[in-house]
Amino acid sequence: MTADAGEPPTGTADASTALDLTAAPEAATADVPGELLAQSLGQYVRAWWLRVRSGNSGVLPVILAIVLVAVVFEIVTPEHAFLRPSNLVYVFGQSTVYMMLAMAETVVLLLGEIDLSVGAVALFGGVVAFKLVQQPGPGWPWWAAMLAALIGCGLVGALQGTLTARLKIPSFVVTLGGFLLFSGILIIVLGGADGNVSVRSSVPNQRVIYDLVQGLIVPTAGWIALAVVVAAAGTAIWLRASTRRRHGLVAPPVSVTVIRIALVAVVGVAVVVICTINRGSSLVTVEGVPWVIPIVLVVLGAWTVLLQRTRFGRYVYAIGGNPEAARRAGVRLVAIRTWSFALCSATAGLGGILLGSFFFGQYSTNTADAGQLVLYSVAASVIGGVSLFGGRGKAIHGVLGGLLIGGIAYGVSLLSLGTLATPLQYILPGGVLLAAVLVDVLSRRGSVTRA
């Protein structure tokens, strides 16, 4: 085999000459993912299982953990309330912030660095966007305010990235300083320790920002949007697989492609069904998919394309896997690292805007603890399956990890724990973070490639 992870022609695409390339244990543990070589569903599943066993388990653990958390909280919460549609939609709204921050953190973790400033930068971005749409005040249009906030956050990230990449100051120190710096600047922008800023749904320009998390898509439009999204995603997956097959490239079996499309459709239908059930009271109807779900999907799509399909993404993985090797291969470490920190901070800024919207358009110094947000986002990415040691992970891991963290946080708040409730809000994420890192460390030890 001369296959590399790119696009190696195999020349054996017709089934008659197919060899079970996954049978050799080397194939599963070599750099080529075994699934790429599989030519039937059985082989594919076997190759996938081998990969899971060797420590590279992808999204499987986090999905199992989400199911486990959902079941456990449904059993232990009073009146078995956890899986009610209203709670599920609320959990999702809360989780979107963690998802954004976790996706932001993921790109930096992929480089083998860490960004401890995401929480403070997110709050900073949110407050800047909220401040810019104030009337009386700057009174910017919502899109200009959000753009300015994201660019501002991106510049912060670029600065931190420059310090890390050029001066080679350890990233945790730079971003620790950035965390402290922006925690202070945040309060200054807010106008003092008791300052606050809000956007109201009654002002049309501010309503867009208010609606990012609070706004709902009417059920009919939700179904239509779902149909469009599933059709588009399905066509894209199908076309890509068939193009590869036609060109004689390594492609997953047709059955795997079909299963993937079906999964996307099932998950989409489930989400829309849950969101379409009336979750208000008998007097007020509250139904429909929150705007934030398509927003998260768009960001997830953008990050996935950037990391999996562009040269930039390949360089990020290369640097995370082995910086020296990447450098010798001609990758410009400084540029890639600086850009990654900038994109990380911009994504965090979007998370901060969503956070303000989630809290009904209110921003004060008590809205969120920047330190806790960082821990949640690092924990979410690592729980999701992103390695702390660089080079392993995807944007989707951040989303799933964020959902898990959000679910745990909300589930705990549903329990009537009395005085234990507050301490558990700290202890649980700490414990979950340590457990996730422990799994990461142990799985790396079990795998063939050494850290």
Partner 1 sequence: MPDIPVTADPGETPTGTADTSTVVDLTAAAEVATADVPPELLAQSLGQYLRAWWLRVRGGDSGVLPVVLAIVVVAVSFQVANSKFLSSQNLVNLFEQSTVYMVLAMAEIFALLLAEIDLSVGLVMALGSVVVAELVQPTGADWPWWAAIIVALLACAAFGAIQGWLVAKLKMPSFIVTLGGLLILEGVAIIVLGGALVSIGNSHYTNEVVLYDIFYGRFDPVVSWILLAVLVGAAGAGLWLRDTRKRRNGLETAPRSLTAMKIVLMAVAGIAVVAICNVNRAHFGTIEGVPYIILIVLVVLAAWTVLLQRTRFGRYVYAIGGNAEAARRAGVSLPAVRIWGFVLASLTSGIAGVLFASWQVSLTTNIIKTANSYVLLAVAAAVIGGTSLFGGRGKTIHGVLGGLVIGGIYNGLYLLGVSSQWIDVVVAAVLLAAATIDVLSRRGAPRQA
Q: Give the binding site for partner 1 (CB under 8 A).
A: 114, 163, 167-170, 172-174, 176-181, 183-188, 192-193, 371-372, 375, 378, 388-389, 419-420, 422-427, 429-431, 433-434, 437-438, 441-442, 445
Question: Could you give the CA distance from residue 94 to residue 349 in angstroms, rounded to a whole number?
Answer: 16
> CA 91, CA 87: separation in Å to the nearest integer?
6
Is 325:391 a contact under the CB 8 Å cutoff? no
The CB density around residue 336, as the number of other CB atoms within 10 Å, is 22
Query: Which residue, 119 or 252, has its beta carbon nearer to partner 1?
Result: 119
Please, which residue, 116 or 226, has the CB nearer to partner 1?
A: 116
Rounded to a whole number of angstroms, the minimum distance from the CB of residue 434 to partner 1 is 4
29 vs 377, beta carbon nearer partner 1? 377
Which residue, 201 or 364, is less far from partner 1 as judged by CB? 364
Residue 303 to residue 201: CA distance in whole angstroms: 30
Give the nearest distance from C-beta 128 to partner 1 in angstroms: 16
Residue 131, C-beta contacts closer than 8 angstroms, at least 6 positions apart: 137, 138, 189, 197
Structure-token pair, residue 450:
């050494």
For residues 159 and 233, which CB has a smaller minimum distance to partner 1 in the complex? 159
Residue tagged 């291969």 (tokens): 329
From CA 13, how far away is CA 118, in angstroms rounded?
Answer: 46
Tell me how far, at minimum, the Cβ of 160 lies from partner 1, in Å: 10
Q: Is 449 left (phi over 0), alpha (psi -120 to 50) or beta?
A: beta
CA distances from 162 to 155, 173, 318 (A): 10, 13, 19
CB of 442 to partner 1, least distance (A): 8
- If the CB atoms of residues 301 and 371 are measured against partner 1, the closer one turns out to be 371
Q: Give SS3 for 111.
A: coil
Minimum Å gap between C-beta 91 and partner 1 is 21
CB of 197 to partner 1, least distance (A): 16
